[in-house]
């Protein structure tokens, strides 16, 4: 094992645990890195700058409000795999806003979310240090990193029987401004015990943005209160599920509203949807091919309301999006501009977006930031039979979608790693990618 030692950083986390165990908590860690040039000098000149960091269970790094990377590389109980990122080109002369969003899944929450195929459910942890030419510029546990809580619903429907909770957010100003140093911050506190830190040598996802530009349908809808929804098997009979205040899977209840009208127009700002005699409406988009990653939406709403984003890699025979598991993200949005990126990965070729009570909307963009293993195109295959060529391409695409830091059972629903399966996926990666780094780290 290639162990990693931090030069100065110690593991920290939110200083006050929840009053009672919760299924999921989300926090924002912040540090203002001042790289202002000395008086009389112009331009930033600090050499090569890298950040080393990891967290439990998942995290995302922002610098000056921009997404830089998403992690961590998962590993066994009692270990954390450390990412190292060159951020030289991301820094500017002056104060740089270093922000890390961390999701912690509560292992003490035994009544509803007590196991996971995605992570070890250990207690939350965050550790990071930034180094320039051998000098540590800032480090958790040494320098005063601030942390705030993020308004994500702590207990809600699960993604699937072996995954954690879906995402429900209240997107007020606090949701955005903490990344720039404004928020209800507290000083992060030291943790008593730390895991063994391991290097992450496999490739990291590119987070390349792919836009959904083809609108396939839109219209007015209304909720049918008499429509019965069969509960997913992993929710049946659970008293916690029965008491949840809101359920995104209610997206299965809307039906066409024959009295409502929605006008759709395109302009330089994007797709403008104007409802007439309708409160709720939807639009469906196709992305051309399946991708796994983080959904991003930029939309301006006339008034406050709710946006539900439903995603799927397939459609049913009637063209509707199926609900074989919980594939909904819910946003409580204010009037005006909303820009949002999910923290949980989604597998999507199709997306259906429901707008509830928001009035006229302009969808500036709908996209996905790719979160799968990169293909360096070290290996290829071509023959005279085009059907075999297509089969090869599909096999490679499937492998990439199901490979990240481990070989996964599913790109988003379960995301578990199985050593028995990796006997074959490891060989497939060696053949199709000419890359066995994931397999080495997995073992």
> How far apart (Å, rounded) are the C-alpha atoms in residues 353 and 269?
18
Confidence of residue 237 (pLDDT cuts 50, 70, 90): confident
pLDDT at 1 over 80: no
- The number of helices, as runs of H, and strands, as runs of E, in the chain is 5, 25
* Phi, psi of 348, rounded to the nearest 5 degrees: -145, 135
d(CA 132, CA 135): 5
| Distance spanning both ends of the chain, measured CA to CA | 10
Q: In whole angstroms, what is the distance from residue 440 CA to residue 1 CA? A: 10
Query: pLDDT value at position 380?
Result: 92
Average pLDDT over residues 143-163: 92
Query: For residue 278, is pLDDT > 70?
Result: yes
Determine the pLDDT at residue 227: 87
pLDDT-wise least confident of 97-111, 170-184, 221-235, 404-418: 97-111
SS3 state at 152: strand
pLDDT digit string, tens, across residues 349-385: 999 999 999 999 999 999 999 999 999 999 999 999 9
Q: In a 3-state reduction of DSSP, which class is residue 137?
A: strand
pLDDT at 110: 64
Residues contacting residue 130 through CB under 8 Å, at least 6 positions apart: 33, 49, 50, 51, 87, 98, 136, 137, 138, 139
CA distances from 184 to 16, 27, 64, 102, 331 (A): 13, 11, 19, 16, 21
Confidence of residue 44 (pLDDT cuts 50, 70, 90): low
Q: Are 126 and 10 in contact (CB under 8 A)?
A: no
Measured CA to CA, the distance from residue 293 to residue 367 in angstroms comes to: 9
**Degrees to nearest 5, angle at CA 440 with 435 and 441:** 110
In this structure, of 36-45, 54-63, 114-123, the range with the lowest mean pLDDT score is 36-45
Q: Model's pTM, two decimal places?
A: 0.95
Confidence at residue 38, expressed as pLDDT on a 0 to 100 scale: 78
Per-residue confidence at 59, pLDDT binned at 50, 70, 90?
Answer: very high
Radius of gyration of the chain (CA): 23
More confident residue, 222 or 38: 222
Region of 302 (left: φ > 0; alpha: ψ -120 to 50; beta: rest) is alpha
| 94: pLDDT strictly greater than 60 | yes
């Amino acid at each position: 094992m290639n162990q990693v030692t931090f030069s100065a950083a110690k593991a920290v986390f939110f200083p006050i645990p929840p009053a009672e165990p919760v299924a999921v908590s989300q926090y924002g860690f912040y540090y203002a890195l001042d790289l202002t040039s000395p008086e009389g000098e112009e331009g930033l000149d600090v050499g090569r700058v890298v950040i080393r960091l990891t967290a439990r269970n998942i995290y995302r790094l922002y610098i000056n409000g921009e997404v830089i990377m998403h992690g961590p590389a998962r590993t066994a109980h009692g270990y954390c795999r450390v990412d190292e990122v060159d951020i030289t080109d991301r820094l500017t002369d002056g104060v740089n806003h270093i922000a890390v969003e961390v999701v912690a899944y509560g292992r003490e929450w035994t009544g509803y979310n007590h196991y996971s195929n995605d992570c070890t459910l250990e207690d939350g942890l965050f550790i990071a240090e930034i180094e320039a030419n051998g000098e540590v510029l800032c480090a958790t546990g040494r320098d005063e990193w601030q942390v705030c809580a993020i308004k994500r619903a702590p207990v809600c429907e699960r993604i699937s029987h072996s995954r954690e909770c879906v995402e429900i957010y209240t997107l007020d100003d606090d949701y955005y401004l903490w990344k720039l140093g404004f928020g209800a911050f507290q000083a992060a506190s030291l943790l008593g015990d730390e895991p063994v830190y391991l290097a992450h040598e496999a490739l990291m996802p590119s987070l390349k943005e792919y836009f959904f530009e083809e609108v396939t349908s839109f219209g007015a809808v209304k909720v049918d209160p008499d429509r019965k929804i069969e509960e997913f098997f992993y929710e049946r009979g659970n008293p916690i599920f029965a008491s949840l205040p809101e359920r995104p899977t209610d997206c299965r209840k809307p039906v066409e509203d024959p009295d409502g009208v929605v006008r759709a127009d395109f302009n330089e700002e994007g797709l403008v949807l104007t409802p007439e005699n309708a409160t709720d409406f939807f639009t469906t988009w196709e992305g051309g091919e399946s991708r796994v990653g983080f959904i991003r939406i930029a939309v301006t709403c006339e008034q406050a309301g709710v946006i539900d984003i439903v995603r799927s890699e397939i459609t049913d025979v009637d063209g509707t999006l199926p609900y074989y598991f919980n594939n909904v993200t819910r946003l409580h949005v204010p009037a005006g501009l909303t820009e949002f990126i999910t923290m949980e990965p989604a597998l999507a070729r199709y997306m259906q977006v429901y707008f509830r009570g928001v009035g006229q909307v302009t969808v500036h963009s709908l996209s996905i930031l790719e979160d799968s293993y990169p293909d360096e195109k070290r290996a290829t295959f071509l023959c005279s039979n085009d059907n075999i060529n297509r089969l090869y391409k599909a096999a490679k695409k499937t492998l990439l979608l199901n490979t990240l830091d481990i070989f996964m059972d599913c790109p988003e629903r379960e995301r578990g790693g199985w050593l028995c399966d990796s006997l074959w996926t490891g060989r497939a990666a060696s053949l199709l990618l000419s890359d066995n780094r994931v397999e080495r780290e997995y073992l």
